Amino acid sequence: MDNNPVYNASIIVTSELENELGKILSGYPEDKIFLVTEQNCDKYCVPIISQTPGFEYFKKVVIPSGEVHKKLSSVEKIWLFLSQNGADRKSLVINLGGGMLTDLGSFAASTMKRGMDFMNIPTTLLAQVDASVGGKTGFNFNGLKNEIGVINQPNTVLIDTRFLKTIDSQNFISGYAEMIKHGLINSPEHLEEVRNFDLINIDYELLRGIIARSVAIKDSFVLRDPTERNIRKALNFGHTIGHAFESFALESGYPILHGYAVAYGMIAELYLSHKVCNFPLSLLPIDDSR
């Protein structure tokens, strides 16, 4: 696998993040680059990009960590930060974080000044293989997940597996569930390589190639149906029940990670497919013997 596999001009899976980011930043004025991140990433992930040429000129805003902060007040904080620091249509917003952060930052950039350039640097596996790619942005509202948002593609998504060394096993598994989904809806070969990946002794170089192939599957659906009118809806497999469960958990004060909710949703929806459409029981990842 090449160190810098590029399958889409705007999506780059790389081991040379600083160089790739530096090339992008060279196209913007030094005083027009804005970094949006969250507390955990500010501590563990910002240092990874700190050697990027021009980093010293970044203007930064930090959002509290956690799904409970994926709300309008957080978007308002980003808007205020951009407004007070002279953001305009020549600016670039860099969203550095997991799916919660990239959704928020992307929405804020998409609506500020009627649309500013923005890029995503996802730091969790879930964000790398799903949330940061495809252009869905937004925040939770009125107890419903992602109730408010727009579809607007980032200028660039930079993916580097080094960030995954900063997350715990639960967050890793959360993203792993979305990779399983991509295999189930599109590629038995990808499903097999994901299932065979060693989750205990993680090979980050091997993982880089698997992530590239997983994201390529999602991107193929997005390119065919950018606004989710038809085939892109396949990417929602597991999400109808999963989002309901996730919203209920959040409302109950016991939030669960998105990937876990999607995994539960996929199991439930596969079982419904068996009951309603005679989907082969042998292919379901559940034990029906009881």
Among candidate residues 32, 182, 213, 243, the one labeled active-site is 243
Among candidate residues 8, 113, 162, 228, the one labeled active-site is 228
Among candidate residues 38, 171, 258, 269, the one labeled active-site is 258
Among candidate residues 140, 232, 246, 269, the one labeled active-site is 232
Among candidate residues 208, 218, 246, 269, the one labeled active-site is 218
d(Cα 23, Cα 268) in Å, to the nearest integer? Answer: 45
d(Cα 280, Cα 56) in Å, to the nearest integer? Answer: 57
Look at residues 123, 119, 56, 75 and name the one whose alpha carbon lies nearest to residue 93. Answer: 119
Which residue type is seen at 19? N
Work out the burial of residue 232: count CB atoms within 10 Å of its CB; fewer than 13 is exposed, 13-18 middle, 19 or more buried.
buried
Among candidate residues 114, 196, 201, 290, the one labeled active-site is 114
Catalytic: 16? Answer: no
Catalytic: 236? Answer: yes
Among candidate residues 32, 69, 70, 136, the one labeled active-site is 136
Widest CA span in the chain? 64
Catalytic: 69? Answer: no
Here the tokens at position 239 are 């999400």
d(Cα 166, Cα 139) in Å, to the nearest integer? Answer: 24
Among candidate residues 18, 155, 236, 274, the one labeled active-site is 236
d(Cα 241, Cα 248) in Å, to the nearest integer? Answer: 11
Catalytic: 4? Answer: no
Here the tokens at position 174 are 């959360």
Catalytic: 190? Answer: no
Catalytic: 178? Answer: yes
Catalytic: 114? Answer: yes
d(Cα 112, Cα 223) in Å, to the nearest integer? Answer: 25
Among candidate residues 38, 178, 246, 269, the one labeled active-site is 178
Among candidate residues 181, 190, 208, 239, the one labeled active-site is 239
Active site residues: 114, 136, 178, 218, 228, 232, 236, 239, 243, 258
